[in-house]
Amino acid sequence: MILRSLLLFAVVVQLVFASPFASSYRKDVRPLVIWHGLGDSHSSAGMLEFAELIKSVHPGIFIHAVRVEESIEADQRAGWFGNVEEQIVKVSEQLASIKELEGGFDAIGFSQGGQFLRAYVEIYNEPPVHNLITFGSQHMGISDIPGCKPGDILCRLAANAARAGVYTSWAQTHLVQAQYFRDHKNLDLYLATNHFLPTINNEVPSILKNNTYKANLVSLSNLVLVAFSEDQTVVPKESSWFGSFAPPDENVEEGTIIPLKEQPLYVEDWIGVRTLDESGRLGLEICEGRHMALSRACWEPLVTTYAGGSLRAENTLVVQS
Ligand SMILES: *[C@@H]1O[C@H](CO)[C@@H](O)[C@H](O)[C@H]1NC(C)=O
């Protein structure tokens, strides 16, 4: 009898508190934060579907999709236009304000969302990230502005503006891709005018390396970098593993890649990637296909291993409203 009334009470509580946006989640499963890629938004069909797929692997997991802006249109636009440093400040405040994340979380960054989440870890990391997985991200920048799908007006506008000059102070505060454009043919200009990427890569020779960035990145349990085998959007695609084009040199063939382990960033361990590697916490993964071709064979083993870990011993179901 008591059991039956308890059950009835539970059902009533569910009915009263279950708004369309409420969902139950398990407190003992480490939450997950996902930062979408360029052209996407926090609540696109693709993002919602991916969240559901992750929940099928890790039932009860709490998932937060980063929202630079609340409205879908504005959030999508913010992938092209805006000041990256300001966007990351905003996101750090957002993540710190979400009660479910206060014990730390795992994070997945799609494309540019990957280097932005890495910047969050390096600069803030409060609450802390445990595992960071980046898919097709541009950790060593891009050397070419990606082409646009027909009819993609935002992409056209951004690409035209970038062609007018990626290293103008306007572009460096208003065009997102310009803020991780790394011109291997003009590294001095890149280092002098780009604020975002050289900073989080501790790459500017005249500025002392910021040890906070390194200490925070090294505090990750795992950093998993996923590159796509046929990526033609990210130029060069090796950027997803911190590779870059070699600067022009008469002895070096054009298009030669400096791989991760030959980058001074790695060799001199500017941001801790080498430390992570040497302690077995750097994953270098390849997914087959073009940029962000997220097949189940690609994401599922990674999400199974690096997301949904146990956070606390007790097994509590929490109703969130
Ligand atoms: C390093 O970065 C942190 C986070 O942005 C900042 O608070 C600190 O002042 C920086 N330190 C130096 C020496 O620049």
Q: Is residue 10 a part of any domain in this protein?
A: no
Select from 28, 42, 29, 31 the least CA-distant residue to 101: 31
Q: Determine the pLDDT at residue 141.
A: 98
Please say if 291 is a catalytic residue.
yes
Q: Which protein residue has the closest C-alpha to ligand 1 atom 1? A: 210
The whole-angstrom separation of Cα 78 and Cα 76 is 5
Q: pLDDT value at position 209? A: 97
Q: Are strands 63-65 and 24-26 parallel, antiparallel or unpaired?
A: unpaired
In a domain, 120, yes or no: yes
Look up the CATH number of the domain holding residue 64: 3.40.50.1820
Rg, Å, the chain Cα set: 21
111 is catalytic: yes
Among 283, 150, 265, CA closest to 222: 283
Residue corresponding to tokens 């980063």: 66
> Is 26 part of a structural domain of the chain?
no
Residue 127 within any structural domain of the chain:
yes
**Does the active-site annotation cover 231?**
yes
For ligand 1, what atom is nearest to the CA of residue 207?
Answer: 14
Report the separation in Å between the CA atom of 131 and the middle of ligand 1, taken as the mean of its atom positions.
23
Give the range of the structural domain holding residue 91, as residue numbers without chain letter.
Answer: 31-306
Q: Residue whose CA is closest, atom 13 of ligand 1?
A: 210
From 203, 212, 213, mutation site for ligand 1 pocket: most ligand atoms within 8 A of C-beta: 212
Residue 25 domain-assigned?
no
- With both helix axes pointing from N to C terminus, report the angle between 211-218 and 112-123 in degrees, rounded to the nearest 10: 110
Bridge partners (DSSP) of residue 310 are 29
Q: Please tell me the distance between residue 85's alpha carbon and the centre of ligand 1 in angstroms.
A: 13
Ligand 1 site residues, Cβ closer than 6 angstroms: 123, 208, 210, 212
Task: Give the CA-trace dihedral at 234, 200, 183, 164, to 10 degrees.
Answer: 90
Residue 294: alpha-carbon gap to chain centroid: 15
10-residue mean pLDDT profile of the chain (321 residues): values are 52 42 80 96 96 97 97 96 98 98 97 98 98 98 91 93 93 97 96 97 96 98 98 96 96 95 98 98 98 95 96 52 44
Closest CA to 35 of 51, 23, 59: 51
Asked if the structure places residue 19 within a domain, the reply is no
Q: Does 4 reside within a domain? A: no
15 inside domain: no
- Tally of domains in the chain: 1
Q: Whole-angstrom Cα distance, residue 118 to residue 95?
A: 14
With CA atoms as reference, report the closest residue to 227 among 143, 307, 288: 288
- pTM reported for the whole predicted model: 0.90
Q: How far is CA 169 from the centre of its chain?
A: 25
Amino acid at residue number 87: Q
